Amino acid sequence: MRSKTVWKRVFEISLLMLMLVGGTILAAAKEETINIAVPTDPDSFDPTRSVAAATAEIAFNIYEGLVKSTPDGQLTGALASHWEIDSSQTVYTFYLREAYFHNGTQVTADDVVNALDRARDPQISQRAGNYQAIASVHAQEGNQVVITLKEPYAPLLYELTELAAAVYPKDAAGLDNRPIGTGPYKLEEWRPNQYIKLTRFDRHWSGQQPFFRDVYFRIMPDYNSAVISLKTGNIDLIPRLEASFLHQVENTPNLAVHADPMNLVQLLAINNARPALSDLKVRQAIAMAVNRDQIIVGAAWGQGEKLYSGLSPAMPEFYNAGLENLLPYDPARAQALLNDAGYANLELTMTLPAPYPLHVQTGEIIADQLRRVGVNVRIEIVEWGTWLEKVYTQRDYDLSIVGLTGKLDPHTILSRYVSTNSRNFTNFNSAEFDRLINEGISASGPERKSIYDQAQEILAREVAAVFIMDPLQLNVLNAEIKGWQSYPIYVIDAAALYK
């Protein structure tokens, strides 16, 4: 009897110790790892081929260019420690740091020249169009790279922060799924539909080591399961959670929600080329019939910032804050304008992209608001592929709702409303606007700011579209994790996170 008790005790103690040891090992492993839920896989890690935002936000940790963006959208040196621009605004000289690639070789000026030459070659790069202002790139004594422009082009530095301008070894091959960059993390493993595993790179030029050794981006297309996994601790971070899930995560003690502007411009696209809609009065009437407050509460759960033109306040340097009262919400006036224009009983179709509940709900609310001023709106919900073909490419629609992702430079964002631009799917046509955008390319300083202020005013007054809101990006984290940084572009800065 006695010996049985002793054995039982020994067994209990050893079990307890085993659990303790095991627990410590597990905890230690967990300490070093962070799990981030993302909805889709990257398309390709080859900078010349990738176009998906899903890739850019992960690749930010792997690749670097000469310069990169800070969390507030300013420029800072990456592979270049600093740079000089000559007085003609056409010769940029970059001074390279001592930096190493993930494969151990040192970054040379030749690598940079090769990467940029490939980035601007239309035969090779998907984004070559963004770098057509460049006349030549060459290496120079003293680890310098000189970029010469055909004519002054203010957005250049911002374009150089893009993944398309990332630097990789000049003899690299198969970057599609084996990227070699200089960033704080290197790709360890990519299992499509499961996860992307990044591991800390020990020789980053900053000399600083990220807190987490391993970063897992886990593919979770369904936000429900991502939210539950966050609550059970299997996931530590959900970037850009849809607003309708907010009530499931707010006021939860072990979770923290960071809400910041996304720099996404959600708009009611109006096909300016359609007979009734080519009438400015009709477009202005539509603009005055839209009640943004109602939409933000009804479709975005209160998580959005009102917009009045094509730039979001997430771009403080260029945002024109004085457009609120240009065409204020005024249904009576909207109705009067419609009567005036001879369209008292207007019939329109609104084509909405099914995979984006925010846009669909926004559309439904706007359809209702328009009905109140006598515009009869028929809603048509289509799948994303159909939307891209019909609305975006063929421009065969009356009204639609979509979000345009933000860039760092106002030119890249606003140039799509230029009458001849092939991305101008609202068919907006204003000679004055075209002239301003053309001027903005080579302007600098306060002059550039004033040009884009005017351009934004034209978009609002002549109603290229009704700009609705910049939905807040809801980044939800396990409360133990600190250091989250929201960017005005698609970025998950894993190196900044710590516990």
Positions that interact with other proteins (CB under 8 A): 40-41, 43-44, 46, 49, 51-52, 122, 126, 129, 176-177, 191-194, 218-222, 224-226, 228-229, 231-232, 234, 355, 383-386, 388-390, 392-393, 402, 404-405, 421-423
C-beta of 217 vs 343, nearer to other proteins: 217
CA distance 492 to 238: 10
Q: How far is the CB of 179 from other proteins (least distance, A)?
A: 11
Helix axes 431-440, 445-461, angle to 10 degrees: 160
Token pair, residue 180, equals 């070699």
What is the DSSP pairing of strand 214-219 with strand 195-200?
A: antiparallel
Helix %, strand %, coil % of the chain (to 5): 35, 25, 40
Contact (Cβ atoms closer than 8 angstroms) between residue 78 and residue 87:
no
Q: How far is the CB of 243 from other proteins (least distance, A)?
A: 20
Q: How far is the CB of 122 from other proteins (least distance, A)?
A: 7
C-beta of 106 vs 229, nearer to other proteins: 229
CA distance 315 to 307: 12
- The structure tokens 């894993």 sit at 494
For the chain, report the end-to-end CA distance as a whole number of angstroms: 50
Q: How far is the CB of 457 from other proteins (least distance, A)?
A: 24
C-beta of 212 vs 356, nearer to other proteins: 356
Neighbouring C-beta atoms of residue 276, cutoff 10 Å = 18
Q: How far is the CB of 309 from other proteins (least distance, A)?
A: 18
DSSP for 249-286 reads HTT-TTEEEEEEE---EEEEEE-TTSTGGGSHHHHHHH
Neighbouring C-beta atoms of residue 89, cutoff 10 Å = 16
| Residue type at position 152 | P
C-beta of 342 vs 385, nearer to other proteins: 385
Q: How far is the CB of 231 from other proteins (least distance, A)?
A: 6
C-beta of 176 vs 305, nearer to other proteins: 176
* Residue in 174, 207, 165 with CA at minimum distance from that of residue 63: 165
Q: How far is the CB of 413 from other proteins (least distance, A)?
A: 11
C-beta of 74 vs 394, nearer to other proteins: 394
C-beta of 176 vs 380, nearer to other proteins: 176
